[in-house]
Structure formats: structure tokens, C-alpha cells
Amino acid sequence: MYAQDKLPVDDIVFYGDTIKFNFDKCTVVAFEDSLSVDNINTFYQNISAANYDSLVRDMIGYKTKNKPDDWVFYQLVRKVAQHISPKADNYRRYTLYKWYLLNKCGYNATLNIAGDKLLLYAQCDENIYDIPFYTRGGRQYVCLNYHDYGTVSMSATKFIEVPAQAAEAMNSFSYKLTQLPTFRPEDYKEKDLEFSYNDMAYTFKIKVNSEVKKIFNNYPVADYGLYFNAPLSAGTYNSLIPQLKKNVKGMSVKNGVDYLMRFTRYALQYEPDAQNFGKEKRLSPEQTLLYEYSDCEDHAALFYYLVKEIYNLPMIVLEYPKHLTIAVKFEKPIGKPILYEGSTYSVCEPTPQDEDLPLGKISQELSRVSYQVAYAYRPQKKN
């Protein structure tokens, strides 16, 4: 029933922070059996009988106190499961521990099994595009560990579902990010950015943190709103946003947005995802600052974030077949306006083009191409 060795789970280093979980040393529950619903249910019964209640309480306590977003909390679940049952030693058991911990921490997590494949799913209401999902009872479940298998022919493989076991496993899982962990100052490195505006050179020394790459590792392709509204970490924010606010102070809103557009366009280097990553990869604003190269979607995400943070203007995301850009609502439209739901917006191109496009102008090539509004931002009215 149990493995012989015991692993204490005391201190876990989590994105630069050391988290202490106080509970009795637990006996690792063995799992060497073939994958079947009966064997997995037996594992769940065994682990439920072991002394993991204190660990679960501490994890829920951490979540209640620190309020991490679901995706960040899932990284802690992975960390704890790895500490108890290393992935390289027994991948199935490692995945079963993640399933158990997600269930006990309140998430509606399920397993799908087929042969030697063990896929972990979580109920999620958001649109996710590059990982498997299935629906049951009108609810969508998305796969959290598909990347571990490379490619799996989902249509050609018959999977059997192992539903959530815990009574408290009721919560949906969200990929929305509202805050990033508080990183240690020593985790940051300086990065130089520069561009010219109205014949004046501007230089920036921003702080970037490679730990952010770990947070977004295996983050799926999702709706633009999830990426565009993802926050900057405190260190990166404080090294950039106050300086940008200082530089645009005294400018009109139009000129300030123009400044931010040209900063995004020319201070950051462009490269298509196919060359940069070998696949489609949408970057959050902080990732765009962190990576050496970024594409039009990433430039758009950063520009959107800067305009939202500094001016909080209504914006729409314009999606062309091979391009993405932003249009901003000013008091009076600039250039050829775009009409959307009764309001006029002006194109602000944050990605380098063959010509130096001013506010309100789209490239000549795209002027003849149809687009769709992929996302709209409307500022909330302050009480």
C-alpha cells in the first residue's frame, strides 16, 4: 500500500519565496499499477487515509491569505507534488498527486486514461485553443498536462474519464492573471531600451525577471483579453511605468498615446513567432519586455497595457488574417476612424511597418483587408 521511504514536506521555494507547510511527515502512497479506474480509485482511497489533511489545510490557507490566481496556485500544486513524488521517478504518481491536491483544494479536476496515457483536466469556462478539451454536462474541461506527451491523437484514442473525487471539488479553473508573485530584488536584471521621439533620444533601464518565463511556461493560447490584461510584476512596473508617465507628462492625450505607440514600435525588436519560438506563442506585456524578440500580437499587448495603465482609454483589438493591431478611442478621431458599436476609434500601430505610420493610419496593404474586433476594452466608471 505504501512506499517504504518517507518524505517530509516542510519548506518549498516558490518563485523566490520560501513557503513553510507545517504537518506530520507523510508516507508516500505507492502507485505501480496499470492505469484503470479501479486502480486510481484505490490510490485515492489510500491517499485519503494517509495524513495529508494538514498539508491541504496549509495550501488552502496560503491561497486564502495570498490570493494567488488559479494558474499561479497550480504552479504551487506542481511544486508540492514534485516534492512528494518527483516527476522523473514516477510520472503517474506525480500526476495523481496533482489531481488529488487540486480536488482537495476545491477545483473540479478529472483524469482521462487510455493505455499508458494519464491526462489531467480542470473544469474551465474560458476559451483555450491549443490544448485538448472535452465537455460533460455542458461544462468544459481543459487538459493541464498535455505538453508532457508531445502529441496525442485525441480523435484516434479512446479515453476513459475518472471524475473528481472530493466533495469540495466544485470550483472552475481560470487562466486569468491579476497579480504576479512578489519576486526577490536579486532575481531581476537590467535591460536597456531606447528609441527616438521628435528627434529626442530616450533611454530606459528596465528590470526584467526570468522567473516570469517559468510562470508562463505551458500557459496555453487563450483569448486576447487574458494576455492583454495580465499585470506586470512590481519590479518591472516600477522600473518602467513611472518613467513613461514622467515622459508624457505635459503632453496632450493624443501626443502621449503617440509616444507610447512609438516606444512599443521601436524600442522592442520584432520577429515572427515561427522564427522566434517555432510555433504560435502569445506573450503577456511583461513577457514582451522580457524576451529579446516579439511579434505583432505581443507589441499590441504591451501597447494596450501601457495605454490602459497611463490613460485608461477605451480600445479595440483589430485582428486581420496575418496581423493584429490596436485602435484607441479619443475625444475626436484621428485619421480614418473605425466605427464599432456606436463609437469611433483610431488605429494606433505599435508594430514596425515598412512605413512610419502616424496615429490614425493603417498600412496600405491592410487598408484593403477585412478585420474583426477580437476584444474590446471599456474602462469601468469610477464611483
| pLDDT value of position 23 | 61
Residue 297: name the closest of 380, 225, 218 by CA.
225
For 239-288, the pLDDT digits (tens) are 999 999 999 999 999 999 999 999 999 999 988 877 878 877 889 999 99
Residues 345, 161: Cα–Cα separation, whole Å: 47
Q: pTM (2 decimals)?
A: 0.90
Q: Parse the chain into domains and list their residue ranges.
A: 2-162, 185-377
Is-contact 131 149, C-beta < 8 A?
no
Give the residues across from 293 on adjacent strands: 269
Which of the residues in the chain have pLDDT under 70? 1-9, 22-26, 381-383
What is the spatial distance between Cα 285 and Cα 303, in angstroms, rounded to a whole number? 8
Say which CATH topology domain 185-377 has. Answer: C8orf32 fold (3.10.620)
- In 3D space, the residue among 284, 312, 311, 280 whose CA is nearest the CA of residue 300 turns out to be 284
pLDDT in tens, 216-246: 989 999 999 999 999 999 999 999 999 999 9
Provide the 3-class DSSP secondary structure of residue 303: helix
Q: Are 302 and 289 spatial neighbours (Cβ–Cβ below 8 Å)?
A: yes
Cα 246 to Cα 251: distance, rounded to the nearest angstrom: 10
CA distance 338 to 347: 8
pLDDT at residue 24, as a whole number:
59
- In degrees rounded to 5, what are phi and psi of residue 313? -95, 150
Q: How many CB atoms lie within 10 A of CB 207?
A: 20
Q: pLDDT tens-digit profile of 76-106?
A: 999 999 988 999 999 999 999 999 999 999 9
Residue with cell 522523473: 88
Q: For 229-280, give the secondary structure using H, E and C.
A: CCCCCHHHHHHHHHHHHHHHCCCCHHHHHHHHHHHHHHCCEECCHHHHCCCC
Cβ proximity of 11 and 20 under 8 Å: yes
With a pLDDT cut of 90, the percent of the chain lying above it is 74
